[in-house]
């Protein structure tokens, strides 16, 4: 039914992912694919939609003129060969079921792919999700549904997932970033401009297998310092902003080289963290540079004092009075140790701060 360019990717493309998808499809299980934003799930789903082991219906919510249930039903009926113009929601649902039933009788197993399904999250309600679930039981032939989301559906729409809906939408499959070989194949399909093998290899490593980030790196005008590219920064911001507080704090610790005893299941599942490391150093750099870090008490007091007088020398006596008021711990040795810790703190280094020593006088904070 489809002639997507991803058909040219060949039978060996993303074989590990295809194996996971086929196991669930062959078991007639509907499931939610959970991934990082922009990692490239839509490319894989188009590749899946041109396979011949089932009849695929590809519904991409990106093509909706507006994010409404009515437009969604119209799009689904269109993909099923119907004519949605001028019909009410109730009539659209009736014809969707009729067309799907007839198709399944002719073609056997049907797999409906709802690409970017979570874009409709503000429209989710128990009735809508029940209507979508009911499509899997309208025929004696199997109907499998695949949904994509950047988070589990029960987290983005807890009020809509109740009763049987909760059980139906709880089957999940994590979609990790691509391998370097798969990224190369995707690049050929897109007919991108030629890039030297050494540069290509380096950018693939930096992308961590994230397809959208890889494309940004390829087109960047700041190849010598990619972390300064505004589009790279925007991509990094997107990868951080949609996480919850707990997940962001774990990434922050990992970026600063700290040990996290138990990595969040979601972070490992979608491939943001692999082997206790953030999947790309670009994200680590972004986090160290942009996310606020809570310094230990003494470091925080000294940093504030130095920053209030940035470019000026703060004397040792002023530092002793601020950091160790009325304390016998106010020694040159203690101050030297504190300055050493601050100079080596990843956050301060990433911000470009330099603490200059003014011999026997004090210290000066410089913003490089």
229-287 confidence digits (pLDDT tens): 899 999 999 999 999 999 999 999 999 888 999 999 999 999 999 999 999 999 998 99
Residue with token string 């969604």: 72
3-state SS assignment for residue 33: strand
Which residue stretches of 108-219 are H helix?
Answer: 126-134, 153-156, 164-168, 180-189, 197-207, 211-219
- 147 forms bridges with which residues in the sheet? 32, 114
- As a whole number of angstroms, the distance between CA 157 and CA 219 comes to 36
Backbone angle region of 32, left / alpha / beta, with phi > 0 → left and psi within -120 to 50 → alpha? beta
Find out whether 130 and 75 touch, Cβ atoms under 8 Å.
Answer: no
What residue ranges of the chain are covered by domains with CATH 3.40.50.300? Answer: 5-175
Q: Is the distance from CB of 313 to CB of 356 less than 8 angstroms?
A: no
Q: What are the 10-residue block averages of pLDDT along the chain, 368 residues in total?
A: 90 96 97 96 97 96 94 97 95 96 94 96 94 93 96 91 86 96 87 72 94 93 84 94 93 91 96 96 89 81 93 94 85 92 81 87 90
For 66-97, how does the pLDDT look when each residue is reduced to its tens digit (9 = 90+)? 999 999 999 999 999 999 999 999 999 999 99
Residue 323 · residue 338 · CB < 8 Å: yes
Please name the residues in contact with 243: beta carbons below 8 A apart, sequence gap of 6 or more.
Answer: 251
Q: Which two tokens stand for residue 261?
A: 């005893």
**pTM passes above 0.85:** no
**pLDDT at res. 315:** 95
Start and end residues for every CATH 1.10.10.10 domain found in the chain: 297-367
- Say which CATH topology domain 5-175 has: Rossmann fold (3.40.50)
Instruction: Please report the pLDDT score of residue 189 as a whole number.
Output: 78
Q: What is the pLDDT of residue 216?
A: 94
Say what the pLDDT of residue 286 is: 92
Specify the pLDDT at position 194: 66
Give percent above pLDDT 90 in the chain. 76
* β-sheet bridge partners, residue 354: 366
**3-class SS of residue 313:** strand
Q: What span, in angstroms and rounded, lies between the C-alpha atoms of 166 and 337?
A: 55
Q: Check: CATH 3.40.50.720 for 297-367?
A: no
Confirm if 311 and 365 have CB atoms less than 8 A apart: yes
User: For the segment 32-46, what is each residue's pLDDT rounded down to a tens digit?
Assistant: 999 999 999 999 999
């Amino acid at each position: 039914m489809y002639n997507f360019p991803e058909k040219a990717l060949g039978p060996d493309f993303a074989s590990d992912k295809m194996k996971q998808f086929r196991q669930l499809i062959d078991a007639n299980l509907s499931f939610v694919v959970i991934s990082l934003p922009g990692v490239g799930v839509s490319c894989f789903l188009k590749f899946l939609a041109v396979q011949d082991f089932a009849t695929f219906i590809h519904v991409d919510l990106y093509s909706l003129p507006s994010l409404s249930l009515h437009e969604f039903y119209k799009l689904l009926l269109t993909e099923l060969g119907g004519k949605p113009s001028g019909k009410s929601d109730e009539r659209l649902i009736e014809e969707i079921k009729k067309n799907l039933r007839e198709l399944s009788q002719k073609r056997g197993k049907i797999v409906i792919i709802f690409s970017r399904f979570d874009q409709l999250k503000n429209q989710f309600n128990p009735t809508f999700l029940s209507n979508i679930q009911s499509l899997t039981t309208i025929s004696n032939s199997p109907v499998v549904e695949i949904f994509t989301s950047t988070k589990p559906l029960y987290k983005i729409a807890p009020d809509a997932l109740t009763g049987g809906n909760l059980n139906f939408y709880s089957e999940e499959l994590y979609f990790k970033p691509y391998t370097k070989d798969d990224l190369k194949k995707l690049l050929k399909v897109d007919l991108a401009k030629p890039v030297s093998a050494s540069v290509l290899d380096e950018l693939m490593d930096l992308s961590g297998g994230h397809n959208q980030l890889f494309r940004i790196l390829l087109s960047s005008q700041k190849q010598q310092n990619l972390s300064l590219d505004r589009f790279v920064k925007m991509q990094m911001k997107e990868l951080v902003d949609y996480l919850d507080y707990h997940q962001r704090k774990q990434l922050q610790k990992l970026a600063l080289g700290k040990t996290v005893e138990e990595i969040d299941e979601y972070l490992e599942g979608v491939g943001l963290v692999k082997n206790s490391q953030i999947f790309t150093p670009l994200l680590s750099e972004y986090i160290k540079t942009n996310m606020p870090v809570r310094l230990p008490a003494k470091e925080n007091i000294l940093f504030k004092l130095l920053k209030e007088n940035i470019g000026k020398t703060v004397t040792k006596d002023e530092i002793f009075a601020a950091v160790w008021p009325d304390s016998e711990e106010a020694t040159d040795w203690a101050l030297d140790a504190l300055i050493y810790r601050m100079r080596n703190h990843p956050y301060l280094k990433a911000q470009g701060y330099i603490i200059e020593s003014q011999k026997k006088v004090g210290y000066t904070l410089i913003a490089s």
